[in-house]
Structure 1
Amino acid sequence: MFISSAFAQTAPAAAAEGAGVMGSLTGMLPLVLMFVVLYFVMIRPQMKRQKEHRAMIDALAKGDEVATAGGLLGKVTGLSDGFVQVEISPGVEVQMQRSAVTQVLPKGSVK
């Protein structure tokens, strides 16, 4: 009678050891899925926007009409490594960082 009870008690413990690895992987599955969703919903689109902004800044040329992060509209009159000179009014030029340019406007937008 005692022998059958002993086998009955050790059998579930042995099965639980094998299922322990699968149980931990199954427990981590929601965390992994949340990270994958976060990557495709937030991280990847942000990286794409940064890449497009970098390409726009690198393609700036004299005569382009731009809008800045501060809301200024003007025409690019000079370029250097990290800075751009923008004419915001006839005879009024400001120098700002290239990263402050948020948008290149179509020609003729700035009057």
Structure 2
Amino acid sequence: MGFAKEQQLQDSTRGFVSSGKAICPDHIPDEALKQHIQDYALEAACSFCPAMGTDDGEPIAAAFDDFMSGFMVGVHLHYRRANDEGTPFEDGDFKIEHFDSDAIAVELFYETSQGVDLKRK
């Protein structure tokens, strides 16, 4: 199997596409996810704001893929992949209401961010 196909399968299994970006905790309202970013911080700069680590090289951001891996743990506690659950499939579509991981991630993030200023201070 070629690299591109293998990457596509990994992305599908994880529920998100690798980005190569980094994120600092200032963008996340959920305390557990903020802690996850701090625990995995290895990057000197955030890709979403001008935040930089300290002059002595202390990292400020985690790889976005590491953040999303933690985020998707929570998603998978509440949602299952339709393919893995024996969902009826006919004429090229599922026969029940279903959601893709992008829609679920947006909905969950929106719910947790209500009333929170997500802009960097």
Looking at CA atoms only, which structure, 1 or 2, has the larger radius of gyration? 1
Instruction: Specify if TM > 0.5.
Output: no
TM-score class, shorter-chain normalisation, is: under 0.3
Q: Considering fraction of residues, name the structure with more strand.
A: 1
Structure 1 length-normalised TM: 0.24
Q: Which has the higher contact order (CA 8 A, sep 6+)?
A: 2
